[in-house]
Structure 1
Amino acid sequence: MKKALQIRLPPLPTIKDIIKLYKLQALKQLSQNFLMEERLIDKIVRAAGNITGNTVCEVGPGPGGITRSILRQAPQKVILVEKDKRFLPSLELIADATKHKVDIDIIIGDILKTDVSQYFPSDAKREWLDSPPPINLIGNLPFSVSTILIIRWLEMISKQTGPWAFGRTRMTLTFQKEVAERMAAPILDEQRCRLSVMCQTWCNVKYKFDISGKAFVPKPEVDVGVVTLTPFKYPLTKLPFKMFEKVVRQIFSMRQKYSIRGARTLFPENVCEEMALKMYEIAEIDPVTRPFQITNSEFVRICEAYNEIINMYPEFKDYDYRAPKIKACRVEGMELKL
């Protein structure tokens, strides 16, 4: 086991001083909130485990509060991905202060459009069934992109691409508390939803702790939850991600009703009842089970049954119940599709 080291950072202005010095204000349109309390910042980084000698990619470092805590743990390399270029001077200040101790890359860009794996050292790569690679993704995520980002990352995990081309790269991330609770929610939990099943199908999800909204500037209307995710060696399914997500999404679209109600929307109206019942029969699931009562493995069986049906009836594969309905009418003896 690696021994955790500590780097002593040279004297730097406090984060509060940095914000004043560069006249930085949190932008509401970017869902920015600054975490100021060093004790809580260190707690987030500790949740990632021993990162000494690792490559750490921090998403949304802002003025650099979490960045400083990461650097004190002596990683080999730190990659900072920040969309807001106003933070570049404060991040460059930190990079300059540690330039002889840690290799730092500062990327000004949108994490949704950035392939961070191109900055990972090649010797960090591991086989999927090995222990996780010496790579960590850490971030105080803006609420506006957090769910979009985690779904995108889960798809990458399913394909073993991006950061997960290097192995089972671990994540330590902050989310709006309600979102964090959904990610970790077990069967029958009031927060159980599509996101619960998607996360738990590909990852071991652990809800670590809460952070009060009062610890942030400006104070958000909600509290924050810290979550760690470690990809499974063997995910619960090998089905295509988008197919699996489609089935789970539709079943949870009517969360409080019998799950068969949402399942019907996977098929055209003229056959929806028959096909949905057939799918549940193949999966051996009671049609009157409610979505939050269905286990992850049972969702896998439902999706496998759906896959079996669309292999028999390929025309159902691209059916979208939200698409405009095609109606037939007759005009001067001709039948037209409208």
Structure 2
Amino acid sequence: MSRSRLENIREVIRQRNVDALFIQGANNVRYFSGFTGSNGYLLITTTTAVLITDQRYTEQAKQEATGWTILIHGLDPFTTITMAIKPLGITRIAYESKETTDYQITELRQEIPFVEWVPCVDVCIQLRAVKDADEATWIQTALQMAEAALGDLCEVIRPGVSEREIAVELEMMMRKRGSEGPAFDTIVASGPNSAHPHAKPTERAIQHGDLIVIDFGATYKGYRSDVTRTIIVGELESEQQQLFDCVHLALEQAVAGIKPGANCHELDKLARDVFIQADLEAYSLRGLGHGVGLDIHEYPRVVMNNQTMIEPGMLFTVEPGLYVPDIGGVRIEDMVLVTEEGCQVLTRTPRVMRL
């Protein structure tokens, strides 16, 4: 775990005029402490860093969270959390209100009535938006696993094979290449099903003239990849081809505009303007992409009206799409890493794939 991550948290503590930050979301715990167990709580002050977990992870916590004070709780974690707080003499603790339930915060307030619990939103995930060199490497490794599997999958896809069969084969191929598991539920949507942005694979058989939207990713060292390709089976109708060409152009335009100093709304607008000009914007979604890391959806959120500035080290998807009932849908998605001058497109699979 990089010491700079802990220092970033401590800077937040100082800026928000609190004595400590309490963290319990699993991926936030992992990011800041290095601990990968399924049960963990962090208590961080400007001088201390405490990890609380249960006896299943006693040795693992010592190995992974080097430099942290490790406390092992019994059946009730709140008793141990209280014991960790009282000796520190702190009275204002910030917590991530999206990660901590009302029940949990009520219990903590009852156990330690002299502490003021200050709700915060998305503090940790904002700090995770800029990736360090290791994170970028691990994400690229996960992406390479996924893309290699897609290359193998093209030998399997043919008329008569079902969406579900394709999804199962793809996930197995990623596993064989070292993936810890799918980054999210694999999407395989063909023909009319492709008009549903988050369709689940069905028993529908692939047919000549289909558009097949395949959205998938692999996982490596907990970090995820995300890629979508719309595969063309045979010849398309003119309306389908128009959708494909429009999405392809929107992706190119958006990627060309990525650079430090641009904001998320501006990037979304680059793709959206292509759809508006083609009179197809009504069939698009409200956002262009999202950050990827330990979670499949992270910051930045590259969506309409988001004024967040793009910074070097941010890593996110660019995934314009159009979804027209009775005609079909197209989504083409690349992952990009923002550089000092612009961006590096990490995805290497051709954007146009035809069987």
Report TM bin, short chain: under 0.3
Could you state the TM-score of these two structures normalised by the residue count of structure 2? 0.25
Could you state the TM-score of these two structures normalised by the residue count of structure 1? 0.25
Structure with the largest fraction of helix: 1
Structure with the largest fraction of strand: 2
